[in-house]
Chain A
Amino acid sequence: MSRLQVDWTRCDGHGSCAELLPDVLTIDEWGYPLPLTPEAEPEVPPAARTRAERAVRACPLAALRLTS
């Protein structure tokens, strides 16, 4: 299954990723993406795959990656 990876050197807490993937991510008190499950790189279920790809493209800092 694919996993979502944040490039922390780029992430600026913009938040589009969490908006597009509310079933995978929330945001912490400072605005940074926080997986809903206790993993650093959350799994993306097949149902969320298309939205995840959209989130990767939507991030203005290009801070999101999807592993294959």
Chain B
Amino acid sequence: MTELCLPTPTRLVPVDGPVPVLTAPRLHQLLEQSGLTGRGGGGFATHRKLAALLQHPEGHVVVVGNGMEGEPLSHKDAHLLATAPGLVLDGLAVVAGALGARRTVLALPAGRRTPVLDALGAARRAPVEVVRLPERFVAGQESALVNAVNGGPAVPGPRHVPVRERGVDRRPTLVLNVETLARIAVVVRHGADTGSVLLTLSSSRDTDRLRVLEVDRATSLRQVVGDPAPEAVLVGGFHGEWVRDLDAPLSSLRLGAGVLHALDPRDCPLRVTAGIVGYLADQSAGQCGPCVNGLPAMAAVLRGVVDGSGEVARLEQLCGLVERRGACAHPDGTARLVRSTLTTFEPHVREHLAGRCGR
């Protein structure tokens, strides 16, 4: 395997030439050694996700590449699919080949045009089915995605039936984010990942402008967000946490899917968060009572806090009522954001309740 002697690239860039064909145990070993974790938000060790499917014989499992990118502030998957789609297809080929997959699917948002990917996909021997699905925040959640691929609604399934046991076509299914797949392609060629992180940057002042960056893991938040330095950065997107310490290296943060949303000093963090929570409440799949009821209630109380009339204790109570009481992590992520806002901006909350905001 001469490929493992070539220096590891420091960025995700297109690569010519075939991707190694590996057995499942060898792939598992390389992934374990590399320490690769998922880039879809969950951050699970990729070798462990693979291990859960090693027991199945050839022709049994389904492999799904997740390019849904339901987080509105995230664009890194779209960027990767446009600039280095071959890496994603390579990752799919390696994993599907190692597991002897019966189907290989790539899930993309319905509105997205991917001419380079389509061309590459058509040119390859190993068939990848591209499935285009409607965009909703939870549509990229693993079991919701699998339900949609199966022709059903893009809503999460119950927790006691994980997709690794019963997923697409009721087969054991491995769902991997497209960036994770690209990094798998790097690991199998070089024995290690690039050491970089793929990020999407935005500011509360201009939420439509998303910038995708790839930087070394040791880079600090300050170096990434640049000048003027924001008051805080929402790290991990709508289900993330606020970070004030801009000198923290990216490697020390829970990046999730790499979304960094800078709070402009002119913007009120409570107003910004209330807007996000309102959106998250609207994006509930509508299946689970605590989420369906709790998230709109949280949004309303948060708007009340902005106006000076909401109760922080009630907000904390609602967080406790929605956490771990649903089929997916949507309510938990929303509660995480709210709790983080209350902690990080505690003085500002007091200002609001005293009727003074000034932003």
Q: Which A residues are closer than 8 A to B by beta carbons? A: 5-13, 28-32, 34, 40, 65
**A9 to B138 CA separation, bound complex (whole angstroms):** 14
Structural contact, B156 and A28, CB atoms closer than 8 A: no
B327 interface residue per 8 A CB criterion: yes
Known contacts A32-B325, A40-B324; A8 and B293 CB within 8 A of each other: no
Min Cβ gap A24→B in Å is: 15
- Is there a chain A Cβ closer than 8 Å to B256's Cβ? no
Are A5 and B289 within 8 A (Cβ)? no
Given A5-B160, A9-B327 in contact, is the A32-B290 Cβ separation under 8 Å?
yes
- Which residues of A have CB within 8 Å of B156? 9
How far, in angstroms, from A57 to B326 measured CA to CA in the complex?
21
Q: Does A28 contact B321, Cβ atoms closer than 8 Å?
A: yes
Tell me the total A-B contact number using a CB cutoff of 8 A. 45
A40: nearest residue on chain B (CB-CB)?
Answer: B324
**Residue B287 lies at the interface, judged by CB distance under 8 Å to chain A:** yes
> Which B residues are CB-close (under 8 A) to A8?
158-159, 287-291, 325-327
User: B288–A9 contact, CB under 8 A?
Assistant: yes
The main secondary structure of chain B at its interface with chain A is loop
* B158 in contact with A30 (CB, 8 Å): no
Among the interface residues A6, A8, A29, A34, which one has the most CB atoms of the partner chain B within 10 A?
Answer: A8
Cα separation A63 to B287 with both chains bound (whole Å): 12
Task: Give which listed residue, B159, B287, B290, B324, contacts A28 with CB less than 8 A.
Answer: B290
A28 contacts across to B, CB distance below 8 A: 290, 321
- Say whether A13 contacts B160, CB under 8 Å: no
Do residues A9 and B290 form an inter-chain contact, with CB atoms below 8 A? no
For residue B155, which residue of chain A has the nearest CB?
Answer: A9
A9, A11, A34, A65, most chain B CB atoms within 10 A:
A9
Residue of A nearest to B322 (CB): A28
24 interchain pairs (CB within 8 A)? A7-B158, A7-B327, A8-B158, A8-B159, A8-B287, A8-B289, A8-B290, A8-B291, A8-B325, A8-B326, A9-B155, A9-B156, A9-B158, A9-B288, A11-B289, A12-B289, A28-B321, A29-B321, A30-B293, A31-B289, A32-B289, A32-B325, A34-B325, A40-B325
